[in-house]
Amino acid sequence: MLATMTSFADITTIAVGGEIDRFVEPTTRVGVIEAVEEADAKGLPLFVIGGGSNVLVSDEPFHGVVVRDARRAITVPDEAAPVEGDDRTVHVNAEAGCNWDDFVDYCVRLGLEGVEGLSGIPGTVGASVVQNIGAYGQDVASSVESVEVWDRKDKAVKNLHADELRFGYRMSALKASMYQAPAVPAGEFFPTPRYVVLSVTFALRHSSTGVVGYGQLAKALGVEVGDRMDTKEIRDAVLRVRAAKGMLEDATRYTRLAMQGTKKATLVATALRAQNDTPDANRHSCGSFFMNPILTAEQAAMLPPEAPRFEAVLPNGEPGVKTSAAWLIDHAGFHKGYTVDDDAKAGLSTLHTLALTNRGQAGSQDVAKLAKTVQDGVEHTFGVRLVPEPVVVGFSLR
Ligand SMILES: Cc1cc2nc3c(=O)[nH]c(=O)nc-3n(C[C@H](O)[C@H](O)[C@H](O)COP(=O)(O)OP(=O)(O)OC[C@H]3O[C@@H](n4cnc5c(N)ncnc54)[C@H](O)[C@@H]3O)c2cc1C
């Protein structure tokens, strides 16, 4: 197990955050459990971090333990792929520390369908199930069979089946275990869930083609939504569309000492070549900073008629209406490239309204000021308070 000096600015995609008292990288399953258990037993703040792509941490020193799982193996427990009959399911298991896009690349190369639309999402397999990552018509929930976790409360390893994970829009039972309300941390476990993911077992389909599930992607591929295409072509198109929107992480981070070895070297090299055209100012973000609000019918009725509306389910299980955070932000007057003042070190991406970016040397308060300005402006205009998607540590963004 490695224990080195580092800061959150070194290990997060937005490159913000203070020094860490103790940073450990266990290389075994028991090592992960012991590191978590030791911090919990001593009552120390514990942050199990993956790729650091969905966190915004204060610049103040973190007086606790940060654990980053250094296990990255992918295995295929099914000995042979099914070749006949209707059931073409192939199980794949990945350890929590495996880079998510390395996993997608592996599955696509193996001729498996189910995660190709999630190409290019930064982070790890472990965190993918925490917030149920989704993009381009796919989410991880639809291909997860079970998740092996360390339960910090019961102090036991458990195997949680997909049915128990209560997956929803950017939500799961794992994520819910660290919040008492949206953006309001629960006292006990935050900023790490009660359940620390050790590995994930996916049920994928043996098929070299996948479904194009999203309009923008279909347009890029010149096909209709619902058409089947080669999964490799879908993956390449997703990566191209993401690059054009500045929604790929900055691959130069993997050349930094604190990130070395966390992603497959060949894929880092490919990503570095692909990102040359992305302006540097757009490369350091947490991706989409705000969740798309899910409103009651009454709240949705207050929005202008032209505001986007999609069917959705409220946290209480009742039918709701999902609107677009990007639309609200733009129509509240915060356009691409917006900054709170001319010298601001943080700003909205010039390519994507929803991404708050560190333009270089931004601190947590620069990002917080921008986020609050946008939240206040949207609330003032539309009566809707936007909820941040990243895990905010050391200060509050309600
Ligand atoms: C450029 C960019 C684009 C993005 N695009 C998308 C997108 O299209 N769709 C989408 O859904 N998200 C997107 N994201 C957000 C982010 O990539 C995902 O949320 C990702 O799953 C976070 O993974 P991570 O390993 O970086 O998690 P981290 O940021 O390291 O951690 C996030 C949370 O997960 C917890 N966690 C991490 N590992 C474990 C574990 N092993 N067990 C339990 N808890 C754990 C942490 O404690 C923390 O609470 C994007 C981010 C960026 C920077």
Residue 217 has what pLDDT? 95
Q: Answer yes or no: is 260 within a domain.
A: no
Query: Best substitution site from 53, 56, 241, 392 to test ligand 1's pocket, by max atoms within 8 Å of Cβ?
Result: 53
Among the atoms of ligand 1, which is closest to the Cα of residue 32? 41
> Which residues lie across from 94 on neighbouring strands?
74, 200
What's the pLDDT band for 84 if we cut at 50, 70, 90?
Answer: low
Q: Give the pLDDT confidence of 375-388 residue by residue, as tens digits.
A: 999 999 999 999 99
**Structurally, how many domains does the chain consist of?**
3
CA atoms within 13 A on the CB side of 375: 18
Tell me the DSSP string of 287-302: EE-BPPPEE-HHHHHT
99 lines ligand 1 (CB under 6 A): no
49 lines ligand 1 (CB under 6 A): yes
3-state percent breakdown (helix, strand, coil) of the chain, nearest 5: 30, 25, 45
Residues 182 and 291 in one domain: no
DSSP state of 124: B
Q: Answer yes or no: is 220 within a domain.
A: yes
Q: At 53, which CATH number?
A: 3.30.43.10
Residues 118 and 215 in one domain: yes
195 CA to middle of ligand 1, Å? 15
Residues 133 and 190 in one domain: yes
Q: Give the pLDDT confidence of 234-288 residue by residue, as tens digits.
A: 999 999 999 999 899 999 999 999 999 999 999 999 999 888 766 677 889 999 9
Q: How far apart are CA 386 and CA 85, in angstroms?
A: 47
Residues 120 and 209 in one domain: yes
Q: Answer yes or no: is 247 within a domain.
A: no
The residue range of the domain holding 28 is 2-67
Q: Give the pLDDT confidence of 30-47 residue by residue, as tens digits.
A: 999 999 999 999 999 999
pLDDT beyond 80 at 329 = yes
pLDDT beyond 60 at 228 = yes
Residues 48 and 87 in one domain: no
17 lines ligand 1 (CB under 6 A): no
Among the atoms of ligand 1, which is closest to the Cα of residue 191? 49
| Helix residue ranges, H only, 17-154 | 29-41, 100-109, 125-128
42 CA to middle of ligand 1, Å? 27
Residue 203 has what pLDDT? 97
Residues 82 and 212 in one domain: yes
Q: Answer yes or no: is 274 within a domain.
A: no
Percent of the chain with pLDDT over 70: 96
120 lines ligand 1 (CB under 6 A): no
Residue 1 has what pLDDT? 52
Reduced to 3 states, what is the DSSP secondary structure of residue 345? coil
Residue 81 has what pLDDT? 65
Q: At 149, which CATH number?
A: 3.30.465.10
Start-to-end Cα distance in the chain: 37
Residue 82 has what pLDDT? 65
133 lines ligand 1 (CB under 6 A): yes
Q: What residues are labeled active site?
A: 170, 288, 389
pLDDT beyond 80 at 188 = yes
Residues 31 and 118 in one domain: no
Residues 58 and 78 in one domain: no
Percent of the chain with pLDDT over 90: 89
320 CA to middle of ligand 1, Å? 25
Write the residue with the smallest CA distance to atom 33 of ligand 1: 127
Do 74 and 106 contact (CB within 8 A), yes or no?
Answer: yes
349 lines ligand 1 (CB under 6 A): no
C-alpha 285 chain-centroid distance: 11
Return mean pLDDT, the chain: 94
Residues 222 and 349 in one domain: no
